Amino acid sequence: MSLPFLRSAVVQLAAYTPHVESADDPSPAALDILDTNECPYDLPKALKEKLAWQLHNDIAANRYPDGGHGALKEAIAQYVTETAAGASFSADHISVGNGSDELIRSLLIATCLGGAGSVLVADPTFSMYGILARTLGIPVITVGRSEDTFEVDLSAAQQAIGHPQTPPVRVVFMVHPNSPTGNALTAAEVAWLEALPSDILVVVDEAYFEFSQQTTVANVLTRPNWVVMRTFSKAFRLAAYRVGYAVANPALAQALEKVRLPYNLPSLTQAAAQLALAHRQELLAVVTEIQQQRRELASAIAQNTPLRLWPSDANFLYGRPPAQPEQPLKTELERWFNRLRVQGTLVRHTGGGLRITIGTPEENQRTLAHLQQV
C-alpha cells in the first residue's frame, strides 16, 4: 500500500530484524541463540527474587519512574570510576538510555539533525549507526577496513573528514572492540581519533568493555568532544531490560538529557540495573569463563573446520568460509548460515562473515559439531 505522507527515505529503509525467520526452518525458540551477543547465563535466581520483591513492594505501578535516573547515575558513575584507572566520574558525566540505541539516536539529534552534519563509520561495524542516521535523514559516510586486520582505513577516513562537503562530518562512530569483527582499537586508531578537531564528536562504543578490559573513558575528562557508550545488555545479563549509558562531558550529558524522551526507563528497569551494579562482582565473575570458552572454541574451530577466524576481544568470534570456485562469498556465507540454522545453531550473517556468540560450554560444543557438518 502506498502511503504518500511517509518520507521517501523511510519507505526505502529495511526494518531491523534481530532473528532471520523462515517457515521452513526451526523457530528461534528451538535454536541455540548465538547471533545477538547476549550473555548465555540468566540472572541468578536469588537476584531475580530480590527484583521481584522490589516490584511487589517498592514500585508503584500507577506512578511514573524516576525521570532523572538519579540513583542509577550515581551507581554507574561509581562503576565507571572503578574501571577508569585513576580517573573519577560523577553522576553529571552520565546519561542513561533505553538501550544504547536510544543514546545513538539522541547523539544524532543533538549534533546532525536538520542538515547540521553527517556521520562517519568504518564498515563492517554495528549497523544501527547507519540505520538510525538514515531514519533521521542524516547522511552517512562510509570508509573501509583492512581485509587482514579490520583496522580502519585511516587514510580514507582522514580524506573524508577533510573533504569539503555539505553537511560536514560532525560525528565519528567507533566500536571498541568492533562488532562484528571483534578487534579492539589500535594505538594508531585512538591517536587519530584524539587528533580530530573539536567540532567533531567522537563516539566510542564500548559495549564489550567487560570482555576486553580496554577503555578510552579517561579521554572524556580531557576532551569535551569524546563520549563513551556502554551497556548492561552483555556482561551484566540485562538484555531484556534495555539499559545503555553514555559517559560524557557534563555539558554534553546535559544536552542528551534535553533531547531524550521523558521517563524513558521503566522503574523495574532502573531497579534491575542498580541491582546488577550492586552485585557486579558476582555477575561479572562469568566473564573469565566466557573468555576461556572463546579461546577454546576458536582453537577447536581452527583445528576442525575450514572456517577462517580473526582474533577477538569480545564475547563472540568472527569468521569466513574458504573461497569456492565461481561461488560468491555471500552465497557461501548464506549456505553456512542456513546449514547451521537447520542443525539448531543461530549465528549472525553480517559484515561479510559469520559472527558467533560465545555460549555455554554445551552450546559451544554443539556449535563446533554443527560447523563440522556444514
Cβ within 8 Å of residue 358, ≥6 positions away = 34, 40, 290, 293, 294, 297, 315, 316, 317, 364
Residues 227 and 112 in one domain: yes
In a domain, 33, yes or no: yes
CATH code at 156? 3.40.640.10
In a domain, 3, yes or no: no
Question: What is residue 124's DSSP assignment?
Answer: S
Q: What is the pLDDT of residues 214-260, one digit of tens each?
A: 999 999 999 999 999 999 999 999 999 999 999 999 999 999 999 99
Q: What is the pLDDT of residues 307-352, one digit of tens each?
A: 999 999 999 999 999 988 888 999 999 999 999 999 999 999 999 9
CATH code at 30? 3.90.1150.10
The whole-model pTM stands at: 0.94
Residues 196 and 314 in one domain: no
Residues 87 and 22 in one domain: no
Q: How far is CA 99 from CA 34, 95, 217, 287, 320, in A?
A: 20, 11, 19, 21, 29
Q: Which of 280, 313, 334 is the last residue of a domain?
A: 280
Q: Could you give phi then psi for residue 288, rounded to 5 degrees?
A: -60, -40
Average pLDDT over residues 45-71: 97
What confidence tier does 25 reach under pLDDT thresholds 50, 70, 90?
low
In a domain, 1, yes or no: no
Cβ within 8 Å of residue 246, ≥6 positions away = 94, 95, 96, 97, 103, 107, 227, 228, 229, 253, 256
CA dihedral 112→72→261→42, nearest 10 degrees, is: 90
Residues 363 and 239 in one domain: no
Say how far apart CA 247 and CA 138 lie, in whole Å: 23
In a domain, 15, yes or no: yes
Residues 75 and 219 in one domain: yes
Residues 135 and 255 in one domain: yes
> Which residues span the domain enclosing 204?
46-280
Q: What is the pLDDT of residues 285-298, one digit of tens each?
A: 999 999 999 999 99
Q: Which of 257, 280, 303 is the last residue of a domain?
A: 280
In a domain, 271, yes or no: yes
User: Does position 182 have pLDDT exceeding 90, yes or no?
Assistant: yes
Question: What is residue 235's DSSP assignment?
Answer: T
Q: Could you give phi then psi for residue 118, rounded to 5 degrees?
A: -120, 170
Q: How far is CA 91 from CA 71, 245, 248, 265, 278, in A?
A: 9, 11, 10, 16, 16
Q: Which of 256, 280, 304 is the last residue of a domain?
A: 280
Residues 78 and 153 in one domain: yes
What 3-state class would DSSP assign to 168?
A: coil
Residues 90 and 185 in one domain: yes
Query: Is the omega angle on the peptide bond into residue 321 within 30 degrees of 0, that is, cis?
Result: no
Q: Is residue 173 within 8 Å of 203, Cβ to Cβ?
A: yes
Residues 22 and 107 in one domain: no
Q: Which of 70, 108, 129 is nearest to 201 (CA)?
A: 108
In a domain, 123, yes or no: yes
Residues 139 and 174 in one domain: yes
In a domain, 2, yes or no: no
In a domain, 110, yes or no: yes
Domain count, the chain: 2
Average pLDDT over residues 161-169: 90
